[in-house]
Structure 1
């Protein structure tokens, strides 16, 4: 199918953990898909429930926000790279090459076409600071624009992203506000967005709806401690901001528009 003949609306689906699926026409794109959790156990512990298998037929494309193993499933990405493309921020391409994956490397703000979709990496931030090479991904197609924010902390780039690329129909945002104990990086400060910070990020981005990702799967004190009452806090904060909140189970569709909201 050529890009000129695509007339349908992108279909969004939340996968396990931070994974998101975007389909438009014959194009299938996955962001941060995760199947293999064994590498996570030493820090994050075992998942509270099995992750759904990732349905990735030949020709499926992938984007990764960064190389943490809960966002970069090395075995899965290598499989996808055989017949589809793998997109990454330019500084991570060499690490992927060492793993046998030839990636489509993009600089911040550089757009690339994948069939009827356009994908663009923008600034993000994690606990390692400016050298983290983490990005958020903007995906546009058929008049719909979404952003996937990986496992970012709060940062000051939200407003510039909104000016350059917004507004957004859906912002996928981490909400577990985890307190983590990494060697050399120990502080009682969340290293991902809290539920309230995620909503504020969605507001700054000009997002109509916010979909929670990256929560209620791993909790492994004292190394990895998740925030309490995530669903209630996220829903309450979003409604106060006039943003449609989505808490979507693994494998379920994420609606465009105002449907499927969290009960009050």
Structure 2
């Protein structure tokens, strides 16, 4: 399996000559009032990628980009959806083949297996994590999940995870402008929680996602850390990690 990190939480997988996109987003403009401008240049990928499968963890527009589906999904491609999101997704997407899966249900095609598993969103929206694997590599993608009590169970039921892609920015959000009361509790995994979650998943390596790209001093306040803190947390928890910059490949 060939793995490339895209913007923010997005990744591209290539296996058996098939391309998979998870949480692939190019257009973050709708969330600019609360996320602010990207602090680094966004990579443009939609002109170059033709995907056989597109998945997303939830419908926040920094994880779900209709324009990417329209531009990147092949004519015979499939959108794979967690059943909890199906009625909402159908309002946004028409004319594509959709595979709908319940939690822990699997779909296998071209020796690639897809499985939605439990996740918990920081502001109460419906979300799943995804496990995707082929004959050689198994990945876990956690969207922007918060800490929950199912990581132990997920680790026991899903052996041999190679890479756990997990959010690490532990962001505190103030979304009163869209009707949510302020809470000081982080709305995604923070650094230590992500390392602990990867450890409970028995992942060979944590791959941090969902950090560094956005900050808004009033509405979107992430945990800030440096390379030394990454290494120190890795040693403290006993969990290895690998950092992929946006656009970087992991083979």
Q: TM-score, normalised by structure 2?
A: 0.91
Partner of 1:262: none
Match of 1:51 in 2: 42
Per-residue CA distance 1:123-152 (angstroms, 9 max, x = gap): 0001233xx220000011113211000000
Please show how residues 11-90 of structure 1 align to structure 2 within 5 Å. 11-55=2-46, 56-81=48-73, 83=75, 84-90=77-83
The partner residue of 2:186 within 187, 190, 211 is 190
Partner SS state of residue 67, structure 2: helix
Alpha carbons of structure 1 residues 147 and 134: separation in structure 2 relative to 1, 3 Å: same
Could you tell which deviates more after superposition, 143-152 or 46-55?
A: 46-55
Gapped regions of structure 1 (runs ≥ 5): 1-9, 256-264
SS in 2 for 1:238: helix
Aligned to 1:125: 120
Moved more, 106-115 or 52-61: 52-61
CA-based RMSD of the aligned residues comes to 1.6
The alignment partner of 1:137 has SS state of strand
- Which residue number in structure 2 is paired with residue 105 of structure 1? 100
Number of residue pairs matched by the alignment: 244
Take 1:15 and 1:58, find their aligned partners in 2: how far apart are those partners? 14
Provide the rounded CA distance (Å) in 1 between the counterparts of 2:205 and 2:170.
19
How far apart are 1:230 and its partner, in Å? 4.8
> Which residue of structure 1 aligns with residue 225 of structure 2?
229
Greater CA drift, 88-97 or 228-237: 228-237
What's the offset of the Cα at 1:59? 4.4
Determine the C-alpha separation between the residues in 1 that align with 2:170 and 2:9: 14
Please give the per-residue CA displacement for 1:74-104, whole angstroms capped at 9, x wherever unaligned. Answer: 2112333452211121121222221233432
Residues 114-123 or 241-250, more deviating: 241-250
Task: Give structure 1 regions of 4+ aligned residues with deviation exceeding 6 angstroms.
Answer: none
Post-superposition Cα deviations, 1:163-219, rounded to whole Å, max 9, x if no partner, equal 111231110010011000123242111110111110000011111100000000000
TM-score norm. by structure 1 comes to 0.87
Matching of residue 141 in structure 1 with residue 129 in structure 2? no
Separation of aligned partners in 2, 1:193 and 1:57: 29
Give the direction of change, closer, same or farther, for the CA distance of 1:142–1:110 in structure 2 (3 Å limit).
same
- In 1, distance between residues paired with 2:143 and 2:57? 6
Deviation of the 1:58 alpha carbon: 3.5
Residues 10-53 of structure 1 deviation map (CA, whole Å, 9 limit, x = unaligned): 11111110011111121110100010111110111111122111
- Match of 1:200, SS state, is helix
Partner of 2:204: 208
Distance 2:226 2:100 in 1: 35
Q: Say whether the 8 Å CA contact 1:175–1:214 is kept in structure 2.
A: yes
Mapped to 1, the partners of 2:35 and 2:127 lie a distance apart of 19
